[in-house]
Amino acid sequence: MNALQELRRPVVWWTRAGIALGAVGAVTTLVPFIGIAELGRALLNGGDTTQVAVVIAVALVVGFLCNGGALTLTHVADAKLQAVLRRRIVERLGKVPLGWYSDTNSGAVRKAAQDDIDELHHLLAHHDVEMTGAIVLPVAGIGYLCWLDWRLALLAIVTLPVYVVAYGFMMRGFADKMRQLDNGFSRVSTAIVEFVHGITVVKVFGQAGKAHRSYQRAVGEYGERYAGWVQPILRLEALTSMALSAPVVALVSLAGGTWFVGNGWVSPIDVLAEVLVAIVVPTTLLTLNQGMTAQRKAVAAAERIVQLLDTPTLPVPERPEEPQGHQVEFDDVSFSYDGTTKVLSGVSLMCAPGTVTALVGSSGAGKSTLAKLVPRFYDVTAGAVRIGGVDVRNIAPDVLYRKVGFVLQEVQLLHGTVSDNIRLGRPQATDEEVSEAAKAARIHDRIMALPQGYDTVDAAFSGGEAQRVSIARALLADTPILVLDEATAYADPESEAQIQDALSVLARGRTVLVIAHRLATIAGVDQIVVLDEGAVVERGTQEELLAAGGRYARMWEAHSEVVVP
């Protein structure tokens, strides 16, 4: 609840004004019902009905204006809050370390930034006004009946305890039941995914029936559990809800009212007023119930949004330093993701300007982690990573990303035109510069074959083509330091050759750090560094490492046996 209150703080006065108008609107909603009774009283007594009719008409107009104004204010508050929250999320996500995006499920970010903010919409734009009306209307009605006669007020709510007791019984163990149903539905979802993903295999081996039975069993168990809980509740709900139905409430009120009139406690017109108010009161219970459900959802959504907004940001130096040159140095670097298990240990390495350094090693050796320390995907646990003699932690982020570019295995093309995607690193680039970058990346001809060329929105590229678009992007950004995470890992032979040509152009004259999986692609680099369990075990040129007969030589031999049968 505290998280929700904190998020709502920027628009709290808008919502309070909406609540105030909603309260007035709720009271005026009651006036026509009371007015009908007063009209009857005036007619029976031979009095003037004009004044009562005018009051009813004014109340209807005022109620319409107040309710409309209340919802207008709360919708404006909702729009303002959504804008504020989305700006805050964008601002926060723009300051978090790049490695956070690798570790975080994009679905969780989307849920917080879109779904959870939408969950706040009903609470802010509707819930407050509706809940105010659901509380003020019955309270005002019961207050009016108390003014007429306290016995009429009790008569109006005499059936309410029946539903309240039954509702409490129905909600016993609700949280536990919902957890059980969630678990059951998760098993159904898993069975569906397994059946769909594995349908080719099970059909080939003639096991489609068995796979289908697994799905049927999961659905059957879920259905039985759901029906076992819901059916008794539905029967009880059907019976107890009758206590709040208009015919039952009216019948009880008329019966009790007749008794009251017979005893001379109230007049028949007073009973008419009680019946009209008593019929209105139960309708507010559904609103209250829905409001509590919306409140629970909004509280959970607010907690997730606050958690996202509290994501630690990348530390920014108060007095940033300017790198002198483009040399990359790893000085006794150690790193741990969790603070206990070391992924890198005591790595020292120098990458001179204009040279290509390749990082090789088995899976999990720390290659990608080491390379990602240069653009500050993460900060080192110990030691330092320096660019131009300056610790990357002391370089302003905007300066760092003008110095360091990277091309990763998994290409991310954004929604927009091909030209927009290439310009991402340098938005002010001219069309000619974009075209030249695409030509150097060997992707210009493919782009020109698209329906609108460079203006094509969300173009459908193959994996190798998308990789060349990302290389064109890096070429246009023209950063002097470049980190390449094996850009040809998922490319077909033809695309691989074109990507290698593009990378040759991209690497020219830059300080390049390559994460290599295919040894044949890095045979001619200036320096090969072999990592094992987070430590440097060998370094040198291709010829030096092969002559040493160590770990790299064994890797090369194994690679050659695979490539050349």
Residue 288 pLDDT exceeds 60: yes
Q: Give the 3-state secondary structure of residue 311.
A: coil
Give the tokens for residue 163.
Answer: 């539903």
* pLDDT attached to residue 449: 92
Number of domains in the chain: 2
Average pLDDT over residues 261-273: 84
pLDDT tier for residue 140 given thresholds of 50, 70 and 90? confident
- By residue range, what is the domain housing residue 12? 2-149+266-309
* Residue 497: CA count within 13 A, CB half-sphere: 2
Strand pairing report for 356-360 and 390-391 = unpaired
Residue 209 has pLDDT above 60, yes or no: no
Q: Return the half-sphere exposure (C-beta side, CA atoms, 13 A cut-off) of residue 68.
A: 6
Which CATH number is 122's domain given?
Answer: 1.20.1560.10
pTM: 0.65
pLDDT value of residue 132: 84
Which of 217-231, 278-292, 401-415, 430-444: highest mean pLDDT?
430-444
What pairs with residue 405 in β-bridges? Answer: 482
Residue 464 lies in a domain: yes
Which residues lie below 8 Å from residue 228, measured CB to CB, with a gap of 6+? none
Q: Is 296 in the same domain as 435?
A: no
Segment 450-498, tens digit of pLDDT: 999 999 998 888 877 888 888 888 888 888 998 887 665 555 556 556 6
Radius of gyration of the chain (CA): 35
Phi and psi, residue 510, nearest 5°: -110, 165
Closest CA to 445 of 497, 504, 498, 503: 498
> How far apart (Å, rounded) are the C-alpha atoms in residues 400 and 379?
13
**CA end-to-end span of the chain, whole Å?**
66
474: nearest Cα among 540, 429, 431: 429
- Residue 540 backbone dihedrals phi, psi, to 5 degrees: 150, -175
What pLDDT does 497 receive? Answer: 64
Same domain, 359 and 300: no
- Over the chain, what is the mean pLDDT? 80
Report the percentage of the chain scoring pLDDT > 90.
14
Regarding whether 293 and 408 lie in a shared domain, the answer is no
- Domain membership flag for residue 187: no
Q: What is the pLDDT of residues 5-17, one digit of tens each?
A: 778 788 888 888 9
- State whether 127 and 52 are in the same domain: yes
CA nearest neighbour of 387 among 344, 324, 331: 324
CB 120 within 8 A of CB 81: yes
pLDDT digits (tens, 9 = 90+) for 27-80: 888 888 788 877 877 777 776 778 878 888 888 888 889 888 888 998 898 888
* Amino acid, res. 470: S
In a domain, 338, yes or no: yes
The pLDDT-based confidence of 306 (bands split at 50, 70, 90) is confident
User: Per-residue pLDDT tens for 548-558?
Assistant: 988 988 888 87
Each residue's pLDDT tens digit, 354-400: 888 989 988 888 888 898 899 898 899 999 999 999 999 999 988 99
- Range with lowest mean pLDDT among 292-296, 332-336, 517-521: 292-296
- Helices 50-93 and 283-309 pack at an angle, to 10 degrees, of 20
Clarify whether residues 541 and 480 are in a common domain. yes
The 3-state DSSP class for residue 315 equals coil
Give yes or no for residue 348 having a pLDDT over 90.
yes
Task: With respect to residue 340, please indicate whether it lies within any of the assigned structural domains.
Answer: yes
